[in-house]
Structures are given as structure tokens and as C-alpha cells.
């Protein structure tokens, strides 16, 4: 089972893409069920988990109609163990997709009933991102929520105006944890205490701490925002039949083939690096000055460089946008606090990169961690992140978690061993410092 750490106060994930093909909906059901297991035993009072945050693209309205999330298609016929997550005992859902949706919604409702707060932000597969999103986010959010209400969505207690926001800021202040939620940068600066959730019974560390969480579309470049935003907008407005065709062509054909090519290259990269390393070690025993040894060494370093670049490239543009565009704009508008961490999703590629942020208006410069939460669709290993009582952030690929159906932690092997070794050394250096 997935055992929550006793000091975990926030659990988060991103980019579930309910309705999109090549997804991990069944694993999400298992994941949520294992979290619920922590509240069924005798030790449930020891758990400090207070909040679950889903950082955008929980729904995929480009690939699926809002009506499909709202319909309750059932027929009489009983149920089997593990299927009855609703109150309609004696009914089955007519298709697996509908059953999965309702199961996930019911699990989230169970977690809410355990006293855990649920919060969402919206991504590019849920709302139109064209134009000034900070000014238009609130109206677009209300329009989407109205559409769910209009279609008689039966889980408005989970997804409503009180728990759907653009930005979340976790703050440690006077030894107390506070989570603020906002629909614009202006609200973060001008109304920091207007919408707050206070973590009762959990003491914060005696240090300055600020962590901003959002989906990630806020860090898009101009070209990608409009180059991708226009097709995304067309997808949001398309009729159901076009959405279904787009779902097949995009997820089952285009993205799936791109992933297969990536896998082939990653496999070649890993195997070649392993062979090259063995050759290099063997040659060292024969000669220390051979030119061939140097060639193999350079080739080995080149493979590491390519592996590192492939691991970083998806998030690098967004990290640069945060450093050069987003945070300077936030500082210019009057934000004076130091952001220790920024967490986002959107790229479907988990990462944890230390960077330097600078506020030229207060002459402050500091080190911050930029974390990507990964995804639950079109990837091999879905991920979640945890924030503990000390403010530390960890991103866990599903294979790394202690599920009985997966490899235990001590036997875990990531897909790209080259990248794993580089990350391991990097973390070791960070601890030593």
C-alpha cells in the first residue's frame, strides 16, 4: 500500500486528463484507494495530510465533452466488489469510461469527507488561454463551472468556485502554515489574506517560506501560447464527434508514435552509455595515455550531456520564463516576498531544478527550487508530489512508491539510468552543501 508520511501536509498531482486516451485512470483509482487506506486503520489520527491540490488539466475538455463527465448512465444488474463507489446499489455503469469517472469522483468525495481539502487549478485543456489570462481567468473559470452546473454535474461539492483558483501560495508565518488562493497576480499582491486556509494542529518552521503553485501555462512563451493556444481553443469549442476524432488522432496516433521513438532513443542512449563505460574502464587497465581512451571518455561525456539535455529540455524554457519574465513582472507589480519554491505541471515531465531569483526592486537575490509535478497521461510513470511540515518537496514516480504491485523501493530502477545517476550525484552534492 501507499503509506503517507506522518509529516506530509500537502499531496499534489497534475495533468490527469480525464477522458484522453493513453491514460492512467485505473492507476489513479488505485492510487486514491491506497491513500484512503491510510484513513481506515487504527493509526489514521497520526496523519497530518490536510490538502490535495490538482494543478490543472484534471479534465480534458479538448478531447472529451463536459456532458460526458456529467452523465450517469447505469443499468440494473448488481455490482462486484470494488465497483460500488456510489449510493446506487444494484446498478452498473454501461461503459468502463463512465465507471472510471464516477469512481474517481467518489474517491475524491470520500477524501473530502475525511476532512481533506481539495483544490484545483485550470489548464489549457480546460479553458481558453489566449489573451491576458490574469484578467480573464476568473470569468472563464465561472463560465466553465456554469457549464458543469448546466449539465447537472453531481459533484459540485468537489469542483466549484470555492476550490478552483489560478494560483496557490503556501506560506509559513508566525509558526503557522497558511495556503492562499488567487485568480490573478494582482490578488496575490493586494489581497494576500483575503482567501486563506489555515493548517490547524500543524506547526510551521521558524523561517521564511513561500511556495507558489499553478498549472504552468502562465510561463508559456508568446509563440507557444498562441501557436498552441489557437488549436487548443478550437478543440475546446469543437462538437463531440470532432473531439472524439481528435482524441484518437492526437493521443493514439501522433503522441503514441512520438513516445515510441523517444523510448527507442532512450534505450539506445542508456545501453550505449553502459557499453561505453565498460570499454573505458577496461582500457584504463591497459593504458592511461592512449588516444583511444580519451576518445571513449569524450564520447561517454557526450552521451551524459545528451541524456541531461533530454531530461531538462521540456522544462528549461518554462524555467527561463519564470526567471526572466514571470517573477520580474510579479516583483514589478509590488510582490516583495522571496519565493522559495515554484511548483507547476503542464509539460508532463517531472523535474527539480535549483535556480537564482532576483528582485531588482528590493535588491534581493536568493536560491529557489523550481519543481515540475509530472503527469498522469502519455507518460510511463505517473507522479505525485508531497510537501511536509518543514516545507520540503518530494516528487515520487509511481514505481518509487510502496505499492505491492510495483517493485519495492530498494529494487527500483528508473527507465533512463544515465539521468538517474546524474540526479543522484546532484542530490548528494546538495546535501553535502
Query: Average per-residue pLDDT in the chain?
Result: 80
Q: Is the pLDDT score of 86 beyond 50?
A: no
Q: Is the pLDDT score of 148 beyond 80?
A: yes
User: Residue 201: pLDDT band by 50, 70, 90 thresholds?
Assistant: confident
Report percent pLDDT > 90 for the chain.
40
User: Residue 304: pLDDT band by 50, 70, 90 thresholds?
Assistant: low
Give pLDDT tens digits for 381-425: 888 999 999 999 988 887 544 433 333 333 333 334 444 455 555
User: Residue 85: pLDDT band by 50, 70, 90 thresholds?
Assistant: very low
Return the higher-pLDDT residue of 249 and 293. Answer: 249
Candidate from 91-105, 129-143, 227-241 with smallest mean pLDDT: 91-105
Give pLDDT tens digits for 262-297: 777 777 767 776 777 777 666 666 655 566 667 767
Return the higher-pLDDT residue of 430 and 239. Answer: 239
Q: What is the mean pLDDT of residues 350-368?
A: 90
Tell me which residue has cell 472524439: 244
What does the alpha-carbon distance between residue 248 and residue 280 come to, in Å, rounded to a whole number? 46
pLDDT at res. 90: 43
Candidate from 40-54, 112-126, 357-371 with smallest mean pLDDT: 40-54
pLDDT at res. 126: 94
CB 12 within 8 A of CB 213: yes
pLDDT at res. 401: 44
What does the alpha-carbon distance between residue 50 and residue 202 come to, in Å, rounded to a whole number? 9
Give pLDDT tens digits for 87-111: 444 444 445 677 788 889 999 999 9
Q: Is the pLDDT score of 162 beyond 90?
A: yes
Dump the DSSP string for 361-412.
TTTEEEEEEEEE---SBSSSS-EEEEEETT--EEEEEGGGS--TTS--GGG-
Candidate from 67-71, 161-165, 204-208, 221-225 with smallest mean pLDDT: 67-71
CA 327, distance to chain mean position in Å, is 20
8-238+315-432 classified as CATH 3.40.50:
no
Q: Is the pLDDT score of 166 beyond 80?
A: yes
Give pLDDT tens digits for 12-37: 999 999 988 888 888 898 889 888 88
The domain spans of the chain are 8-238+315-432
pLDDT at res. 331: 93
CB 62 within 8 A of CB 235: yes
Give pLDDT tens digits for 330-354: 999 999 999 999 999 999 888 888 9
pLDDT at res. 416: 43
Return the higher-pLDDT residue of 135 and 100. Answer: 135
In 10 A of CB 270, how many CB atoms? Answer: 19
Residue 62: DSSP 8-state = T
CB 14 within 8 A of CB 54: yes
Q: What is the mean pLDDT of residues 193-201?
A: 87
Candidate from 92-96, 176-180, 254-258, 261-265 with smallest mean pLDDT: 92-96
Report percent pLDDT > 70 for the chain.
76
Dump the DSSP string for 255-301.
IHHHHHHHHHHHHHHHHHHHHHHHHHHHHHHH-SS-HHHHHHHHHHH
Amino acid at each position: 500500500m501507499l503509506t503517507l508520511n506522518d509529516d506530509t501536509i500537502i499531496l499534489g498531482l497534475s495533468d490527469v486528463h480525464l477522458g484522453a486516451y493513453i491514460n492512467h485512470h485505473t492507476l489513479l483509482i488505485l492510487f486514491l484507494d491506497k491513500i484512503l487506506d491510510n484513513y481506515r486503520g487504527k493509526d489514521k489520527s497520526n496523519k497530518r495530510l490536510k490538502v490535495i491540490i490538482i494543478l490543472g488539466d484534471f479534465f480534458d475538455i479538448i478531447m472529451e465533452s463536459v456532458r460526458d463527465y456529467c452523465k450517469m448512465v447505469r443499468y440494473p444488474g448488481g455490482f462486484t466488489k470494488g465497483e460500488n463507489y456510489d449510493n446506487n446499489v444494484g446498478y452498473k455503469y454501461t461503459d468502463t469510461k463512465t465507471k472510471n469517472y464516477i469512481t474517481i469522483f467518489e474517491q475524491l468525495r470520500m477524501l473530502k469527507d475525511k476532512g481533506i481539502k481539495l483544490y484545483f487549478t485550470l489548464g489549457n485543456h480546460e479553458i481558453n488561454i489566449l489573451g491576458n489570462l490574469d484578467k480573464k481567468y476568473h470569468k472563464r473559470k465561472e463560465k466553465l463551472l456554469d457549464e458543469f452546473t448546466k449539465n447537472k454535474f453531481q459533484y459540485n461539492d468537489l469542483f466549484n468556485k470555492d476550490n478552483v483558483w489560478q494560483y496557490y501560495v503556501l506560506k509559513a508565518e508566525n509558526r503557522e502554515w497558511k495556503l492562499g488562493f488567487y485568480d490573478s497576480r494582482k490578488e496575490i499582491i493586494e489581497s494576500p489574506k483575503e482567501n486563506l486556509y489555515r493548517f490547524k494542529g500543524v506547526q510551521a518552521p521558524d523561517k521564511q517560506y513561500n511556495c507558489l503553485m499553478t498549472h504552468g501555462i502562465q510561463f508559456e512563451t508568446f509563440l507557444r501560447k498562441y501557436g498552441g493556444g489557437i488549436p487548443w481553443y478550437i478543440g475546446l469549442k469543437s462538437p463531440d464527434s470532432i473531439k472524439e476524432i481528435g482524441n484518437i488522432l492526437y493521443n493514439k496516433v501522433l503522441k503514441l508514435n512520438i513516445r515510441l521513438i523517444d523510448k527507442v532513443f532512450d534505450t539506445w542512449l542508456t545501453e550505449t552509455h553502459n557499453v561505453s563505460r565498460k570499454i573505458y574502464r577496461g582500457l584504463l587497465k591497459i593504458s592511461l595515455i592512449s588516444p583511444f581512451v580519451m576518445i571513449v571518455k569524450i564520447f561517454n561525456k557526450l552521451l551524459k550531456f545528451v541524456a541531461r539535455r533530454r531530461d531538462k529540455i521540456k522544462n528549461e524554457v518554462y524555467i527561463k520564463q519564470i526567471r526572466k519574465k514571470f517573477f520580474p513582472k510579479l516583483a514589478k507589480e509590488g510582490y516583495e516576498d522571496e519565493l522559495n519554491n515554484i511548483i507547476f505541471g503542464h509539460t508532463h515531465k517531472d523535474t527539480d531544478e535549483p535556480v537564482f531569483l532576483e528582485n531588482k526592486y528590493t535588491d534581493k537575490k536568493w536560491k529557489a527550487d523550481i519543481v515540475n509535478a509530472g503527469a498522469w497521461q502519455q507518460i510511463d510513470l505517473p507522479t505525485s508530489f508531497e510537501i511536509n511540515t518543514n516545507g520540503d518537496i518530494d516528487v515520487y514516480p509511481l514505481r518509487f512508491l510502496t505499492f505491492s504491485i510495483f517493485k519495492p523501493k530498494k529494487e527500483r530502477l528508473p527507465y533512463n539510468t544515465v539521468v538517474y545517476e546524474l540526479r543522484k550525484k546532484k542530490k548528494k552534492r546538495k546535501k553535502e552543501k
